Amino acid sequence: MAETAPWPWVVALALGLEALLGYPAALNRLAGHPVAWPAALIEGLERRWNRPTTSDRQRRLLGVVLVVLLVAASVLLGAAVQSLPGASLPGLALVALIATVGLAQRSLHDHVAAVLAPLRADDLPAARAAVAMIVGRDTGALDAKGVAAAALESLAESFNDGVVAPTFWLLVGGLPGLFAYKSVNTADSLIGHREERWRLFGWAAARIDDLMNLVPARLAGGLIALAGGGGWWTMARDARRHASPNAGWPEAAMAGALGVQLGGDAVYDGVRTARPTFGDGPRPTAADLERGLRLYRRACLLLWLIPLTIPLAIGLIAVLAR
């Protein structure tokens, strides 16, 4: 890794570049997004290793092997890429540019804004189609408030998965940490499910993803509450209602900060699933979704302050210690 002192500045630069540039559409058309590369490996090994004829013990063990291989390959690749440019300022700037592929501030904002636009225009079919791009539930029967709620839930949860957690692991582990997190998070999204097919094979991916999000999810919730000027009590009270040990923190914070109710039953593949609710207010409207996007932008700015202030804090401590 680069020297400790300049590294937080590299992280801050990566956040700024990604917010400005996103992931260029032309590059996406040419080579796809880098997250798709481990996804292809995961799907290929899942088809080969996760067969119904394989014993339960072997399926779980092979799932562990998959995660170990993913993490090892990610760390090695990250270390190799990070070492190539060297520790010069141009080299560090190049590392920051490479790191932007693991961040999703811009794309998350744009996807949620794409839901807001038709909602404000009372074009419910278009709003349903837009929100279907960012959520896993069935959207065909959602009313306007259901669409707004689904978009806000995705915004809150993805603020952690796509922004805070990658930034956290980039800050503490450089590109190896970032790449490892993105690989594990991708594996969890593909195979870390409770359905019978994936329950054993995806066990390791789900548990490691939970572990790697333990600190970032609580940080994400705190940033949302801080940016929204409230939501702390709702987050503390409701976060543990979520089936995930982590997803409830930013979601409950968003509900509390906006004074709305999120969560509740949802339909997946035609089957209604009972889910807890977060917050005590009314169901959100298009206006609440617009407020949520403003809150999200403020929370991202607060996140930028963390790597920016670390060198200053280190310098202050050094001065005081003399």
Predicted confidence at residue 6, as pLDDT, reads 66
Residue ranges per structural domain of the chain: 7-321
Higher model confidence: residue 34 or residue 147?
Answer: 147
Predicted confidence at residue 1, as pLDDT, reads 43
- Residue 40 makes CB contacts below 8 A (sequence gap 6+) with none
pTM (2 decimals)? 0.92
Higher model confidence: residue 1 or residue 320?
Answer: 320
For 56-91, write each residue's pLDDT tens digit: 999 999 999 999 999 999 999 999 999 987 778 888
Which backbone phi and psi does 285 adopt, to 5 degrees? -115, 180
Predicted confidence at residue 28, as pLDDT, reads 66
* Residue 281 exposed, middle or buried by CB count within 10 Å (0-12, 13-18, 19+): middle
In this prediction, residue 34 has a pLDDT band, given cuts at 50, 70 and 90, of: confident
Higher model confidence: residue 271 or residue 108?
Answer: 108
* Residue 304 exposed, middle or buried by CB count within 10 Å (0-12, 13-18, 19+): middle
215-248 as b/e: b if 16+ CB within 10 A: ebbbbbbbbbbbbbebbbebbeebbeebeeebbb
Interval 180-191 mean pLDDT:
95
Going from the C-alpha of 211 to that of each of 79, 197, 215, 217, the distances in angstroms are 22, 23, 8, 10
Q: How far apart are the two ends of the chain, measured CA to CA in Å?
A: 27
Judged against a pLDDT cut of 70, whether residue 30 lies above it is answered with no
| C-beta atoms surrounding 283 within 10 Å | 17
Tokens 């290929």 sit on residue: 44
Q: What are the E-state strand segments in the chain?
A: 262-263, 266-268, 271-273, 277-278
Higher model confidence: residue 305 or residue 36?
Answer: 305
In this prediction, residue 314 has a pLDDT band, given cuts at 50, 70 and 90, of: confident
**CB 95 within 8 Å of CB 175:** yes
Judged against a pLDDT cut of 70, whether residue 184 lies above it is answered with yes
Predicted confidence at residue 180, as pLDDT, reads 97
Torsion sign (Cα): 149, 151, 154, 160: negative
Q: Of 50-54, 175-179, 282-286, which range is least confident?
A: 50-54
- The distance from CA 242 to its chain's CA centroid, rounded to whole angstroms, is 16
Which backbone phi and psi does 282 adopt, to 5 degrees? -75, 170
Interval 40-57 mean pLDDT:
90
